[in-house]
Homo-oligomer: A and B are copies of this chain.
Amino acid sequence: MIAKTRLFVTTDLAGGLSIGLEPSQAHYVKTVLRLGPGAEVALFNGRDGEWRGRVDGVGKGWCSVALYEQSRRQEPPGDLALVFAPLKRGRIDFLVEKATELGVAALHPVFTRRSVVERVNLDRLRANAIEAAEQCERLDVPAVAEPEPLERLMARWPAHRRLLLCDESGAAPPIAETLAAASGGAAAVLVGPEGGFAETELDALRKLPFVSPVGLGPRVLRADTAALAALSVLQALAGDWRRPRRR
């Protein structure tokens, strides 16, 4: 349930400050939400926690919010990454929204042998990530990296960072088995494009010491489904879903 208006800003936040919103946010507050002076708004910037404030002035293209109380302290950032081949517009928007809700800290679009979608609108993906972070009560927004070839990202991947490869070949052990056997620590999920990885790509990935291929059941999943399913299981078994929700 989304009970309050939460907005992501880039400026520093502290008690007593009056924060000027971006024109698009001001428009949203004034015209979409129809909030006026005195209305409650919460702001966060990924660094200073979440602050309660009240609209203290609003006009065409501008809105300022006077902060009066920190409602949540900043938490240490998560360490979950999603590496994915870009998808078509509706699906990639959806993937970014869901990955943000599921607690992904970094999104890495990568190009693979069978990638069909070659252009990535980073501004749109970042806007989706911000909107989802506002809605799901995160205190930070996932970073969306510049797209790059998969090989290049793998070449500089830290050896200690486990990468779960969503492997639809049928040869990988079930994801719950792999996660039960694995030790904790930073983790990431890798999904290929709709057409899947090329056989040579899969072979090369499986040889990387940090890659753990995982199976996601007997059906053929779309790339976005595989990503969300693997992230959910990872969070439930080895991530921050093991503690209950902050109230």
- Chain A window 124-136, contacts with chain B (Cβ cutoff 8 Å), 1 for yes, 0 for no: 0000000000011
Residues of B within 8 A of A243 (CB): 174, 218
A105 to chain B, nearest CB (A): 12
Q: Say yes or no: A220 contacts B169, CB within 8 Å.
A: no
Copies in the complex: 2
A87 contacts the other chain (CB 8 A): no
Which residues 111-132 in A have Cβ within 8 Å of B in the complex?
none
Which residues of B sit under 8 angstroms from A2, Cβ to Cβ?
Answer: 194, 220
Contact across chains for B170 and A244 when beta carbons are under 8 A apart: yes
> Is A232 an interface position by the 8 A CB rule?
yes
The answer to whether A246 touches B196, judged by C-beta atoms less than 8 angstroms apart, is no
Chain B hits for A26, CB < 8 A: none
User: What separation, in Å, do the CA atoms of A247 and B215 have in the docked complex?
Assistant: 12
| CB atoms of B228 and A232 under 8 A apart | yes
Q: Mark A221-247, 1 if CB is under 8 A from B, else 0.
A: 110010011101101110111111111
Contact B220–A1 (Cβ < 8 Å): yes
Partner of A138, one of B1, B219, B230: B219
Query: A137 on the interface (CB 8 Å rule)?
Result: yes
Residues A174 and B244 in contact in the complex (CB < 8 Å), given A101-B219, A196-B1, A228-B228: yes
Complex interface: chain B residues within 8 A of A241 (CB):
174-176, 215-218
Looking at the assembled complex, report how far the CB atom of A8 sits from the nearest CB atom of chain B, in whole angstroms.
14
Which residues from chain B contact A103 at a C-beta distance below 8 Å? 217-219
Bound state CA distance, A142 and B235, in angstroms?
27
- In whole angstroms, what is the CA distance A11 to B91 when docked? 33
A62 at the interface (CB under 8 A from B): no
Output the least CB separation between A137 and chain B (Å): 5
| Chain A contacts with B in 188-224, Cβ cutoff 8 A | 194-196, 215-222
In the complex where A1-B168, A1-B195, A245-B168 touch, is A229 in contact with B176 (Cβ < 8 A)?
Answer: no
Given contacts A98-B225, A103-B217, 6 further A-B contacts (CB under 8 A): A102-B225, A135-B220, A136-B219, A173-B244, A228-B232, A229-B236
Q: List 6 A-B contacts (CB under 8 A).
A: A101-B219, A102-B221, A103-B219, A136-B220, A169-B245, A217-B239
